[in-house]
Amino acid sequence: MSTQQVRQAEAIPRGQAPLVRVDNFSLDIIRSGDPVAVLTGINLTVHSGEVVGLVGESGSGKSTLAMSMMGLVPKRVSRLRGGSIEIDGFEVTGKSTRDLRGIRGNKVGMIFQEPMTSLDPAFRVGDQIAEVIRRHRGGTRRDARAEAIANLKLVEVADAERRADSYPHELSGGLRQRVCIAMAIACRPDLLIADEPTTALDVTTQAQILDLLRRLRQDMGMAIVLISHDLAVIAEFCDRVMVLYAGQMIEQAPVDPFFDRPRHPYSSALLQSLPENQKPLVELSVLPGAPPQLGMVAPGCRFAVRCAHVVAGRCDVAPIQMYGEDARQYRCIRADELELPGADNE
């Protein structure tokens, strides 16, 4: 599977305009009247058909970034500090709900961690999918229902005709997530944003859902942005990975090189703290401390206080830029001096 992914990633024509272009995007959230920086200078491109993983701990800003791509961050609690987000040439930032209607569903679909939040408990799931189809494309009720059932079959819901008449609470967590996926892809979007889509699911169900997304991506050629705290899920599913820390992108790389040889100490430390990469019953090598609270960032490298490789006077003075070339970037001033262990450390 993974060799196949690499081939596909390489096959992306570099000259073609990217599907998503996030350019120097910075966003504040208003907290009790004061703006707090949640995202700072995010650059990110996603090409058609590509699967990009966004990884970070809580408070890293990964979900806010995903919501921003959908224009879902409410304006009254946020302030754009700069930059832009373009999806297929359409500027998303600063747009009203009405302007975004053409993008949501048609160009971009989204699924969430908890399927119940995007399903209405009072309506049958088939009707909810049909509603999405009718809203975007019109057509008769009968046609929309037929298409809703076709979509349920597409997401491998067994006995789709009968399931279409179920209410969300009658379905298992895995089936609900399938229904959400069916809704998200009903209008065949070019991009699917999946925010922790398997975090609330059991591991065997997670494997089913990831397998389904993989297949849909192959069949429909849509790009996927997968947000996850689970490095292993990212490793298995994505072509490229971006690591967020305290609102900044600190590393981006193709998946295999990233897990083999991370270039940022934070990435390396995260990989090292996975229990599966360590001998059982031996204390893990750990990352001390906790991520900084929102808005409480150090003047230099934001990771400096927790970093094992920090050099006073170099790392903690001025903001650190991104180093490296297009495909592989890292926000560490010492990256070239360090030999950091990856997931295969034995």
Partner 1 sequence: MSDDVVLAGIDLVKDFSGRTGLIKRSTGNVRAVDHVTLELKRGRTLGLVGESGSGKSTVGRLLLRLIDVSDGAVLLNDQDVTQSKHRSLRKLRSAMQMVFQDPYSSLNPTMRVGDIIGEPISYHRGLRGTARDNEVERLLVSVGLAVEQARRFPDELSGGQRQRVAIARALGSEPDILVCDEAVSALDISIQSQILNLLLHLQSEFGLTMLFVSHDLSVVRHVSHDIAVMYLGQIVEYGPADRVADQPAHPYTAALLSAVPQAKPSSRRTSEKVILEGDPPSPSAPPKGCPFVSRCPFAFEPCHEFRPAHTPVNGGGTVACHLQTSGPTLGGASLGGAAFDSEKSATKH
Where do contacts with partner 1 occur on this chain (CB under 8 A)?
1-3, 57-58, 158, 172-175, 202-208, 210-211, 229-233, 235-237, 256, 259-260, 269-271, 273-278, 280-288, 290-291, 342-344
175 vs 191, beta carbon nearer partner 1: 175
Minimum CB separation of residue 43 from partner 1 in Å reads: 24
Alpha-carbon span 234 to 51, nearest angstrom: 10
For residue 259, the tally of other CB atoms under 10 A from its CB is: 19
Q: Which is nearer to partner 1, 11 or 282 (CB)?
A: 282
Nearer to partner 1, 324 or 341 (CB): 341
238 residue type, one letter: C
Neighbours of 56 (CB within 10 A): 25
Q: How far apart are CA 50 and CA 284, in angstroms?
A: 34
Nearer to partner 1 by Cβ, of 164 and 287: the residue is 287
Q: How far is the CB of 191 from partner 1 (least distance, A)?
A: 23
Q: Which is nearer to partner 1, 34 or 346 (CB)?
A: 346
| Least gap, CB of 96 to partner 1 (angstroms) | 35
Question: Is residue 78 within 8 Å of 85, Cβ to Cβ?
Answer: no
Q: Which is nearer to partner 1, 187 or 343 (CB)?
A: 343
271 C-beta neighbours (distance < 10 Å), count? 22
State the minimum distance, in angstroms, from the CB of residue 53 to partner 1. Answer: 12
Q: Name 213's Cβ contacts closer than 8 Å, sequence gap at least 6.
A: 181, 192, 194, 197, 224, 237
Structure tokens at 64: 């806010």
Cβ 284 to partner 1, closest distance in Å? 4
Q: Tokens at residue 303, please? A: 């990771």
**Cα–Cα distance measured from residue 6 to residue 18, given in angstroms and rounded to the nearest whole number:** 18
The least CB distance from residue 256 to partner 1, in Å, is 5
* Residue closer to partner 1 (CB basis): 70 or 225: 225
Q: How far is the CB of 261 from partner 1 (least distance, A)?
A: 10
Helix 125-137 vs helix 173-184: crossing angle, to nearest 10: 10
Q: What angle do CA 284, 285, 286 make, to 5 degrees?
A: 100
By beta-carbon proximity to partner 1, the closer residue of 46 and 233 is: 233
- Output the six-digit token pair for 193: 């944003």
State in angstroms the smallest separation of the CB of 285 from partner 1.
8
Residue 339's nearest CA partner among 274, 268, 276 is: 268
Q: CA-CA-CA-CA torsion for 12, 18, 22, 24, nearest 10 degrees? A: 90
